[in-house]
Amino acid sequence: MLKSNKLIIPTTAEDRIVFEYPDHQVEIEWNGSATFNVFNGGRNVNCFTDNNCKTMEQAQKSADEWLEEQLEEEKLKDADTYTIDPDDFDGDGEIEINPDKN
C-alpha cells in the first residue's frame, strides 16, 4: 500500500494540508472537507472528492488509495497487449506471441 511521506498540519487558515509523494512527484492537498487537489511539479493536474473524510487519517488514507489507483490504471494503460492468433503456431510446438500494433 502506498503511503505519503509528509503531512503538513494546519495551524492557521493559510496553512495547507498536503500529502507528499516524492517518489511520484505528486502532492495531494486536502481542503479539510471533501475536496482533494492533485499537483505535479507545482501545477494543479487533477482533483477528486471523498465525502467520507472527517479526520486527517481518513483523508490521508483516501489520498493514498486514490494515487495508488491512478498509478495502477496508468500501469495497465501502458501494458503491452498480446493476442494469440491461430497463425502464430508454426508447427514447432511453441506459440509465437507478439505485441499488438495498434
Nearest-angstrom CA–CA distance, 47 and 28:
9
- Residue 86 counted as domain residue: no
pLDDT value of position 5? 57
Instruction: Report CA 37 to chain centroid distance, whole Å.
Output: 13
Q: Do 66 and 4 touch, CB atoms closer than 8 A?
A: no
Domain carrying residue 13:
6-77
Does residue 11 form part of some domain? yes
Q: Is the pTM of this model over 0.85?
A: no
Point out the residues of the chain with pLDDT beneath 70. 1-15, 78-102
CA dist list (Å): 102 to 5, 69, 77, 80, 99: 38, 25, 13, 10, 9
pLDDT of residue 100: 56
- Do the domain assignments include residue 37? yes
Structural domain tally of the chain? Answer: 1
Nearest to 85 by CA among 67, 70, 100, 68: 100
